[in-house]
Amino acid sequence: MKYINYKSLIPCFVFEVAEILRSNSFEVYIVGGCLRDLLLKNTPKDWDMATNATPNIIQNILSPYHIHIIEIGKKYGTLLLHSYDKNQPEIEITTYRTEKNYIKHRFPQHICFTSSLKDDLIRRDFTINALALNPFSKQGVLDFFGGIKDIRHKKIVCVKNPEKRLKEDSLRILRALRFAATIKFTIDTKTKKAIFKTLHYLDFIAQERIQAECNKMLLGDSISKIIQEYSIIFKKIFHLSDHHLHIHFSLFALKRIPKELTWRLAALLLHTDNPQKILKNLKYSNKVLEETLLIITYYHQHHFKYSENIKYHLYHIGFSRLYRILILKKLYAQYSKDYQQKNTFTIFIQQILSIQKNNECYSLKQLDIKGQDLLKENIEPRKIGYFLEQLLFAVIDGFLPNKYENLKKYVQKLKIISSD
């Protein structure tokens, strides 16, 4: 692997914290996923550090400085550090530790602080995350378990015994799949076997944590490949259909739609029996649940025809939702080799893109007349919604231009009609 000038890539705040601890005679290393990201030439989102200083000592040393310390996991040796410079990243700093006797295949029952960096790294999940860098040394990355080689070969390998690693914390099963989906690595054969052998331990994981990992997976470039390879896990989590056509269409669609969560959830759950129940079980927010269900429901309930005015669909569900639904319809036609239907949906998509680009009116907020204008025309407040909707439909049907004076005149006609 080519030489990397790490110092130019490490944020000032990370150096500042490291220098403070070093000047107090403590070891400090940058560890984990941020090093993996640097080696992959990606910008790290999170920065992790490990030290032989205990949490109390870290707090005492850092307290005179402009550093905000949050005790997010102090009993596990972890503190969260915030710089008062908002442009600097947060840091999770953890005391070297060993772990044993895991509760419900998730949390260590016993934590023991240690003076050995290697003992700390050996407890980690995958070799690609068990790397360490002394920011002040020319020694480069410390790699006790072959993580650099695995990054070079794009492999996800558990540290030491894979079955033991996954039994300790069964969320690691989903983390392995997430890395495979997002950074396009292949899961090592022994680790893969251990995943299938221990997947029943996923029952011990909180639904919120499963959801969080699945969300990251779903936005990965290789999600279709991972679902196909580990379908038993995704059927367990999302209750996917066993119907060959349905599951393969979902995989087909996921390869072709943008990385947007509700869109990809809809594609995945399009042919499940009860998507609402699945999403609720996984503790999705009401916003995500409603958006995903709207796409799925509208997809199944509405059959688009040439004779239809597409603006009425835009009125009912808006541009972004309709666009996603039409793309899914087009993809299904493509997958089914129904080229006539594919052309139909291509035309609809072109139509709504043109409508959006030209700012053509299809919603109440686009009308050139507002509710307060109707009040001035002596329209009863309780009837304003009805009048605005009738005006909008007249504009959509091409009966009226969306101009204030034309709309105002039509209001008078509507008043006469409604009074009869």
Half-sphere exposure of 309 (CA within 13 A, CB side): 13
**Three-state DSSP class for residue 79:** strand
Confidence of residue 243 (pLDDT cuts 50, 70, 90): confident
| Tens digit of each residue's pLDDT (9 = 90 or more) over 128-162 | 999 999 999 888 899 999 999 999 999 999 999 99
Whole-angstrom distance, CA of residue 313 vs CA of residue 304: 9
- Dump the DSSP string for 71-103: EEEGGGTEEEEEESSTTSPPEEEEE-EEEEEEE
Task: Report whether pLDDT(381) > 60.
Answer: yes
The structure tokens 């666009």 sit at 323
Whole-angstrom distance, CA of residue 139 vs CA of residue 372: 72
Confidence of residue 240 (pLDDT cuts 50, 70, 90): confident
Task: Report whether pLDDT(252) > 60.
Answer: yes
| Phi, then psi, of 262 in degrees rounded to 5 | -65, -35
At residue 170's C-alpha, the angle toward residues 164 and 174, to 5°, is: 120
Cα 250 from chain centroid? 18
| Tens digit of each residue's pLDDT (9 = 90 or more) over 6-42 | 778 899 999 999 999 999 999 999 999 999 999 999 9
Q: At what angle do helices 244-254 and 261-269 cross, to 10 degrees?
A: 160
| Tens digit of each residue's pLDDT (9 = 90 or more) over 42-63 | 999 899 999 999 999 999 999 9
- 1-152: CATH topology is Beta Polymerase; domain 2 (3.30.460)
| Tens digit of each residue's pLDDT (9 = 90 or more) over 263-321 | 999 999 999 999 999 999 999 999 999 999 999 999 998 878 766 799 999 999 999 99
Task: Report whether pLDDT(326) > 80.
Answer: yes
Handedness of CA 30, 36, 38, 43 (dihedral sign): negative
- Report CA-CA distances (Å) from 104 to 98, 204, 205: 18, 6, 8
The ranges assigned to domains in the chain are 1-152, 302-357, 364-419
- Strand 155-156 vs strand 186-187: parallel, antiparallel, or unpaired? parallel
